[in-house]
Chains A and B, each alone.
Chain A
Amino acid sequence: MYGLYNFVTGPLVWASFAIFILGSIYRLVSMYALAKKKDAVSLAYMDWKFSFRSIFNWLIPFNALGWKKNPVLTVVTYVFHICLLATPILLSAHIILIEESWGVSWWTLSDSTADIMTILVIVACAFFAGRRLYQKDVRFLTTGQDWLILTIAALPFITGFLAYHQLFNYQVLIIAHVLAGNIMIAAIPFTRLSHMFFSVFTRAYMGSEFGGIRKAKDW
């Protein structure tokens, strides 16, 4: 068991971060090369000011028409994304591991706050799953890819929650948790999770078109 634990928390973490970073660079560079080759009439209109105007306006909750018309989804989406990103980065257990390895550390969340944020992520995932199952339009749209990324996003939090509360077999769960985290990090460039970085550019492009050519807001 210790051998396996050492493997998933050692070489596998390096591997998944390497896949994440190199994979992301590869995806971004190849996508940019493709855009330069085939989308000249789109790239030509990219504009810093209107890109940031659009990104900024879409980051404000309830600012865009879409957010206004989907209020429950808006709240869940914001809570989900904030907790999904902040919890693993600011979790004291994670920081202790990093400090032991490299001697660096930073501010952490209290364990009870992190616990609540973990529960919020799990609840949000359940909400998203519920929409996929029971909301007509979303059910019509849902594909296997959507279930895949929902599972990938939910598993580290579910296993982390169970391990932290020492429910079931701790040793198995902590290994499953690390494994799930590794899978998520490595999957980002190659699944729909890539919206993490591609959506910045699609948003910026839409902002540039609307600001520069259509002279209208796009939110």
Chain B
Amino acid sequence: MGIQDRLIEDVGLREGVSRLTEDKIQKTVNAVIQGETGARLKAYAEICLRCGMCTEACHFYLSHDQDPSYAPAAKVKQTIGTLLANSGRVSPDQIYNMAQIAYSECNLCRRCVHFCPVGVDTAYMMITMRRICHKLGVTPQYIQDTAHSHSATFNQMWVKDDEWTDTLQWQEDEARDEFPDLRIPLDKEGADVYYSVIAPEPKFRTQLIYQAAAILHTAKIDWTMPAEPGWDNSDMCMFTGDFEMMGRLKRKHFESAQKLKVKRIVMGECGHAFRSVYDVGNRWAGWKHYPVPVVHSVEFFWELLTQGKIKLVSKYPGPVTLQDPCNIVRGRGLGDKLREVIRILVDGEIVETASNREHNLCCSAGGGVINCGPPFKNARVAACKAKADQLRATGVKTIIAPCHNCHGGLDDTVHKYELGMEIKFLGDIIYQCMERPET
């Protein structure tokens, strides 16, 4: 019982701690605690009553045979709590353990917020732990690679500048077979909509760009995509603890939209990028709210469908269930709109999972956990058992998940627990069912 019994070998963490000494650790920990944290951390650490009410909130706990070391407060105790109790003086091996907990055993989903009477924010404690790990140079290799990519290219997948425009033109070309006058307008000044994506879309989910172009074209939206960096709204640096780079990323994204004088940014179906834009990255960059209006595609699709800009020729056969992504539902209250969109698109009922809306169970992939890559995959999917049980209990064959991380995580989950379900983006369904413009 406890983190020491389940250590996973990761070269990023191992190499990182090999360079540490207790002195170096203590100096860095105290620099972060004294320099970057304040009353929030102090109050949370002091008033957590160790009552155990949050225990049942966590899918890691629920999925691991009720192992108490996975409870939210227990994860805090084993990480930042231990640092505070020892004035930051711990061994390199302890840092390894803490890094594994903070990066791979908490999705920052904030379900535990709904369980804590005194309002302790476990996600904040975990992200502060990650910040310390980042400063110590102890980060899982795979997610650090995406953070490096952000630093070098302003996108998380090492997509080069010419590859980006090339990919867009390729998708435009493909789509013109189906929609002869379709364009993916690049750098169009003053457009109504600036469409931004996460880098995995041009890298290996190009059909999503195709679909988005088809939908925007059909709805006759005045839209554009930027030709230069800034197009990737994703933010792995927010999750590694590299806040300086997180701020640069958000600034680049917003400034790219400002340069084109667009009316608003519409984002693809991603959860964490949305969190970075409205809640986290904007703050670091000094914007209390965002400088350019940002709309998640759930809201955008809701507009298109309710305003009749997209009409359907058929409905998607239900019943369906849905995954409430934490960053857009618990994090941004889009639960109602998501259900309204699904009701318009689907013929049949929505079978809710036992925990839904703000109280949903996490997909176990978000918060950067899936980005920690193959070494942590089995542990991640194991933590999704509670979710898998809830999905199986719905008895339906389709899961609608408007988030890339949820998609990836549930894909593995459906496979591992043999749920026999298919997972859909809203864009998949709209593209499939919408009325095509006459040619």
Q: Which of B36, B114, B329 contacts A218 (CB 8 A)?
A: B114
Query: Assuming the A-B contacts A194-B47, A213-B278, are A139 and B40 also in contact, with contact meaning beta carbons closer than 8 angstroms in the complex?
Result: no
A66's partner among B74, B116, B331, B358 (CB-CB below 8 A) is: B116
Q: Does A195 contact B (CB under 8 A)?
A: yes
CA distance A127 to B24 in the complex (A): 44
A54 near B119: Cβ-Cβ < 8 Å: yes
Q: What total count of A-B pairs have CB within 8 Å?
A: 139
B126 within 8 A of A: no
Q: Is the CB of A131 within 8 A of B47?
A: no
Q: How many residues from A make CB contacts under 8 Å with B?
A: 52
B249 within 8 A of A: no
CB nearest neighbor in A for B77? A141
Q: Across the interface, do A35 and B40 meet the contact criterion of CB distance under 8 Å?
A: yes
A219 to B357, CA, bound (A): 12
| Distance of A61 from chain B, by nearest CB (Å) | 11
Q: CB-defined interface of A47-88 with B at 8 Å, one 1/0 digit per residue?
A: 000000010001000001111011001000100000000000
B264-289 near A? 1/0 per residue, CB < 8 Å? 00000000000000110001100010
Chain A: residues with CB nearer than 8 A to chain B?
31-32, 34-35, 37-39, 41-42, 44-45, 54, 58, 64-67, 69-70, 73, 77, 131, 135-143, 146, 192, 194-195, 198-199, 201-207, 210, 213-219
The majority secondary structure among interface residues of chain A is: helix
A34 touches B54 (CB 8 A): no
Cα of A41 to Cα of B335 in the assembled complex, Å: 26
Q: Which residues of A contact B39 (CB under 8 A)?
A: 31-32, 34-35, 38-39
Q: Are A195 and B47 in contact (CB under 8 A)?
A: yes
Listed by A's residue number, 26 A-B pairs whose Cβ atoms lie within 8 Å are A34-B38, A38-B36, A39-B38, A44-B288, A58-B117, A64-B114, A65-B57, A65-B114, A65-B115, A66-B115, A70-B53, A137-B66, A137-B71, A140-B71, A192-B47, A194-B47, A199-B47, A201-B43, A202-B43, A202-B118, A203-B117, A206-B119, A207-B119, A213-B279, A216-B330, A216-B331
Which of B43, B68, B116 is close to A137, meaning CB atoms less than 8 Å apart?
A: B68
Question: A77–B118 Cα gap in the complex (Å)?
Answer: 13
Q: 8 Å CB contacts to A: which residues of B59-80?
A: 61, 66, 68-69, 71, 73-74, 77
Residues in B lying within 8 Å of A, measured CB to CB: 1, 36-40, 42-44, 46-47, 49-57, 61, 66, 68-69, 71, 73-74, 77, 113-121, 278-279, 283-284, 288, 329-333, 335, 358-359
Considering the chains assembled together, what is the distance between the CA atoms of A93 and B90 in angstroms? 52
| Inter-chain contact B114/A66, CB cutoff 8 Å | yes
Q: Chain B's nearest CB lies how many Å from the CB of A3? A: 38
* Supplied contacts A45-B288, A195-B49, 17 more A-B pairs, CB within 8 Å: A31-B39, A34-B42, A35-B38, A38-B37, A66-B114, A69-B115, A131-B52, A136-B66, A137-B66, A140-B69, A140-B77, A203-B117, A203-B118, A204-B119, A216-B332, A216-B335, A216-B358
Inter-chain contact B52/A199, CB cutoff 8 Å: no
Chain A residues, CB < 8 A from B74: 137, 140-141
